[in-house]
């Protein structure tokens, strides 16, 4: 149990620094940056405390905001993603989720991709919507969500397969 806590604290810090020091400087095609730090929300233990998840995702987003000077958009986007995570899990894993018997490392590849994609879309959509903060930029929001989202999903899948648990 306590090793799980340390693992998550470590993941929090690692992803935060990776995000602000490295990934925010990629700027592929001039403006695309993968928001890898939401991997923290994605990989948070399924059986874990939902309240803790909400608060820690909020803090993670807030820290990214601090480094990016972006007000509170990352905090809000993370919060929304964390809040909707149980609903997505229920949607994808159905009845299994309520029994809490699934392990993330053992689910099929397709479900894994779907889960990550749902989370990334929710996060990015709210992130860019609140960043632009107007309906007149609707298509810019969609465009950024689409391209940045694909980038994030790919990087997320790669990092998961690299750091896969041995079991």
* Shortest distance in whole angstroms from residue 124 CB to another protein: 13
Question: Of 48, 71, 91, 101, which one interacts with another protein (CB under 8 A)?
Answer: 71
Largest CA distance in the chain: 49
Taking the alpha carbons at both ends of the chain, their separation in whole angstroms is 17
Helices (H), strands (E): how many in the chain?
7, 0
Listed in order, strand segments (DSSP E) in 97-158 are: none
Query: Hey, how many other C-beta atoms are within 10 angstroms of the C-beta on 75?
Result: 21
Figure out which of the listed residues 18, 83, 96, 107 binds another protein, where binding follows CB under 8 A: 83
CB of 153 to another protein, least distance (A): 18
Helix, strand, coil share of the chain (percent; to 5): 80, 0, 20
Contact flag: residue 24 with another protein (CB under 8 A)? yes
Q: Which of 18, 20, 114, 142 binds another protein (CB under 8 A)?
A: 20
Q: Which stretch binds another protein (CB under 8 A): 7-15, 67-75, 102-110, 159-167?
A: 67-75
Shortest separation between residue 55's beta carbon and another protein, angstroms: 7
Q: Assess contact for 12 and 60: CB atoms under 8 A.
A: yes
- Candidates 58, 115, 118, 151: give the one binding another protein (CB under 8 A): 58
Least separation in angstroms between residue 53's CB and another protein is 9
* DSSP designation for 30: T
Tokens for 17, please give them. 């620094």
**Cβ atoms within 10 Å of 116's Cβ, excluding its own:** 20
Residue 147 binding another protein, by CB under 8 A: no
Interface residues with another protein (CB under 8 A) are: 17, 20-21, 24, 27, 30-33, 50-51, 54-55, 58, 61-62, 65-73, 75-76, 79-80, 83, 130-133, 137, 140
């Amino acid at each position: 149990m306590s090793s799980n806590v340390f693992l998550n604290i470590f993941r929090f810090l690692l992803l935060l620094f990776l995000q602000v020091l490295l990934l925010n400087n990629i700027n592929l095609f001039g403006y695309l940056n993968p928001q890898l730090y939401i991997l923290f929300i994605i990989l948070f233990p399924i059986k874990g405390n939902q309240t803790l998840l909400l608060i820690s995702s909020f803090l993670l987003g807030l820290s990214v905001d601090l480094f990016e000077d972006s007000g509170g958009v990352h905090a809000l986007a993370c919060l929304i993603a964390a809040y909707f995570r149980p609903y997505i899990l229920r949607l994808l894993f159905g009845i299994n989720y309520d029994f809490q018997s699934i392990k993330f490392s053992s689910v099929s590849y397709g479900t894994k991709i779907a889960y990550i994609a749902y989370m990334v879309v929710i996060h990015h959509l709210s992130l860019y919507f609140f960043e632009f903060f107007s309906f007149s930029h609707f298509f810019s929001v969609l465009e950024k969500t689409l391209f940045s989202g694909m980038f994030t999903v790919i990087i997320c899948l790669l990092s998961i397969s690299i750091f896969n648990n041995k079991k």
